């Protein structure tokens, strides 16, 4: 089904998408919020720029955006995938519980904040470019991967992993990481570490037409919670 979002408010647009009996192609999107919220079995392809909370509470659907996205994409999503061919705003994957978010370009501040993992639910975020400060803030589970493709700068901002107490982050760079808080320990990713993320990187490269061997053959840092200096010490005297 084809839907033009021109001169359509977000409530009407979302009602049309939910009522569609098959997959949906949305054109002329310009800031409409909550697209795909809570949807299960459907593929939504969007041309334009959707508004905040795209794919919030997503529960199995696939959303493809042929452009940029705004803030809080995938807020508390449970399953499914969100594929962004442009850049993303702040709070990408906020409180994400499952599924995958792939962004070809850059993402803003607080990517992956409060992500969590339970049993077989493992959320994954891959950002092809750079991210802003507070990456993985209060991270409790899942995987965050930042590739820094095309960047000559450090691909992460300041305060990466503040409050991190679970999950893992992989940063592709030859530069030294800085501004890491005491709750985070960083080291060079081993072959065994890379094997964990290889299926996701292969899928990402296939979608966006990157050379998977070139990407996976680069140096990655792996960031984990520091058991000797845990998150709780942010709030205690000792």
- Name the average pLDDT for the chain: 94
What confidence tier does 109 reach under pLDDT thresholds 50, 70, 90?
very high
Residue 14 has pLDDT above 80, yes or no: yes
Mean pLDDT of 157-178: 93
Mean pLDDT of 219-234: 80
All structural domains of the chain = 87-235 (2.160.20.60)
Residue 193 has pLDDT above 70, yes or no: yes
pLDDT of residue 21: 84
pLDDT of residue 219: 96
Cα torsion 12, 18, 20, 25 to 10°: value is 70
Residue 5 has pLDDT above 50, yes or no: yes
User: Chain centroid to CA 17: how far?
Assistant: 23
Q: pLDDT > 70: what percent of the chain? A: 96
How many Cα atoms sit within 13 Å of 191 on the Cβ side? 0
Q: What is the DSSP letter of 177?
A: P
pLDDT digit string (tens) for 118-160?
988 999 999 999 999 999 999 999 999 999 999 889 999 999 9
Mean pLDDT of 91-106: 98
Mean pLDDT of 81-102: 98
Exposure pattern of 26-59 as b/e (b: 16+ CB <10 Å)? beebeebbbbbbbbeebbbbbbbbbbbbbbbbbb
pLDDT of residue 236: 44
pLDDT of residue 212: 95
Asked whether the beta carbons of 228 and 157 are under 8 A apart, the reply is no
Let me know if 216 is exposed, middle or buried by CB neighbors in 10 A (0-12, 13-18, 19+).
Answer: middle
pLDDT of residue 214: 94
Residue 235 has pLDDT above 80, yes or no: no
pLDDT of residue 23: 94
User: Chain centroid to CA 121: how far?
Assistant: 15
Mean pLDDT of 7-22: 93
Residue 233 has pLDDT above 60, yes or no: no
What confidence tier does 227 reach under pLDDT thresholds 50, 70, 90?
confident
Comparison of pLDDT for 178 and 150, the residue scoring more: 150
Asked whether the beta carbons of 170 and 145 are under 8 A apart, the reply is yes
Cross-sheet strand order for the sheet of 43-49: 2-4, 24-30, 43-49, 59-65, 79-84, 100-103, 124-127, 140-146, 166-172, 220-225, 184-188
């Amino acid at each position: 089904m084809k839907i033009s979002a021109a001169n359509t408010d977000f409530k009407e647009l979302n009602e049309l998408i939910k009522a569609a009996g098959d997959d949906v192609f949305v054109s002329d999107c310009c800031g409409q919020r909550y697209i795909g919220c809570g949807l299960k079995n459907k593929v939504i392809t969007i041309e334009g720029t959707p508004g905040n909370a795209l794919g919030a509470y997503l529960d199995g659907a696939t959303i493809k955006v042929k452009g940029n996205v705004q803030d809080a994409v995938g807020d508390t999503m449970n399953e499914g995938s969100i594929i962004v061919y442009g850049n993303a705003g702040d709070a990408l994957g906020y409180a994400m519980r499952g599924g995958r978010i792939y962004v070809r370009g850059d993402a803003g501040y607080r990517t992956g904040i409060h992500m969590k993992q339970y049993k077989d639910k493992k959320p994954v975020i891959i950002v092809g470019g750079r991210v802003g400060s507070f990456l993985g803030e209060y991270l409790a589970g899942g995987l965050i991967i930042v590739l820094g493709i095309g960047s000559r700068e450090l691909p992460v901002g300041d305060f990466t992993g503040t409050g991190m107490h679970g999950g893992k982050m992989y940063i592709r760079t030859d530069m030294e990481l800085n501004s890491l808080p005491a709750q985070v320990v960083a080291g060079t990713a081993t072959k065994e570490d890379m094997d964990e993320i290889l299926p996701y990187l292969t899928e990402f490269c296939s979608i966006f037409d990157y050379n998977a061997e070139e990407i996976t053959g680069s140096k990655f840092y792996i960031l984990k919670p520091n058991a000797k200096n845990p998150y709780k010490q942010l709030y205690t005297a000792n």
